[in-house]
Amino acid sequence: MEKVSCYNCLSESSKFFISENGFTLVKCSQCGLLYVNPRPSEDEISAAAISGMHKGDETINVSDQYRTEKALSYESRIKDLYKDELNNKKIALFDLGCGYGEFIEAIGKFVAKDSTLVGSEPSEVKKASAIKRGLNVDFYDISNLKPEYDIISVLNVFSHLPNPPKFFETLKKGLKPGGEFLIQTGDSSGLTPHTHHKPFLLPDHLSFASEEIVCNILKKIGFEIITVQRYEYYPKMHFKYNMVWDLKDRIKSIVKPGHKRVVHPEHDYRFFNMNLKRDMYIRAKMIS
């Protein structure tokens, strides 16, 4: 375990936010970033990314499984984010942290057949699945990337990174002049412990940022923001709010002496409303 400061503003001042699975999430007193402190060492973080097993009070397995509906969701996002920009266009894409390769499959339906679509994935389970389905996936050292990609996609990866500013500074070396990052992450650091989506899945997730934080990091390393789009979290069933159940429980707490209402964030309309469209996609172009 190691103590760290805020990777965004470098402040060492923070306040307790919430504890989960033997780890503490703190809120930076200066910029509002939520981050795990203290956290596992970078060697432990890397080893967990390969195995998919993250140790805390309980060991969590984040290997999940291949999901067709996730690929379909990505197709919808691509249509919205790029309109017809990619239609039958030959591109070179590097999908970092590609998981089972759902995004590679999705974007392959839009671009020219002779496009170069490469994925990098540390998880042995996910990588093996992607390769078995015929995708060009391996695990690459980003420090060795050459400027040969039009787009580098980094989807659902940001919150797992020990030091995003340093990471993206290195990663941009893989872009051609005028190339783009496509980043997907949450816009949730402004929520309260009660209204934030749960579980936090600590220590797999190391931080939770906001649009302002992510965009400022990108601008500092030489990018201009093309667009920021927000969507409901995938999958929608993440939201377990049930209006009928909640109403019955509220009435019972009034008419039945001694009944204590079950107050969980996922049963609260404030949680439901505040978390809509927190799934954030950012297109950012490298300034030549």
Answer for the pair 131, 159: CB distance below 8 angstroms, yes or no. Answer: no
Please give the model's pTM, rounded to 2 decimal places.
0.83
CATH ID of 62-234+272-286, from 3.40.50.2020, 3.40.50.150, 3.40.50.2000, 3.40.190.10: 3.40.50.150
How far is residue 192 CA from its own chain's centroid?
19
pLDDT at 63: 64
Rg of the chain in Å (alpha carbons): 20
Contacts of 142 (CB under 8 A, 6+ apart): 96, 120, 167, 170, 171, 173, 174
Answer for the pair 287, 222: CB distance below 8 angstroms, yes or no. Answer: yes
Report d(CA 6, CA 147) in Å as an integer: 30
Report d(CA 174, CA 168) in Å as an integer: 10
pLDDT at 261: 56
The domain spans of the chain are: 62-234+272-286
Give the mean model confidence (pLDDT) for residues 273-277: 59
Q: Which tokens sit at 188?
A: 């949730």
pLDDT digits 0-9 by tens, 199-256: 888 999 999 999 999 999 999 999 999 999 998 864 443 344 456 656 776 777 777 7
pLDDT at 140: 94
pLDDT at 238: 39
Residue 265 vs residue 226, higher pLDDT: 226
State how far the alpha carbon of 184 is from the alpha carbons of 21, 61, 135, 214, in Å: 25, 21, 21, 10
pLDDT at 233: 67
State how far the alpha carbon of 236 is from the alpha carbons of 117, 187, 276, in Å: 28, 16, 10
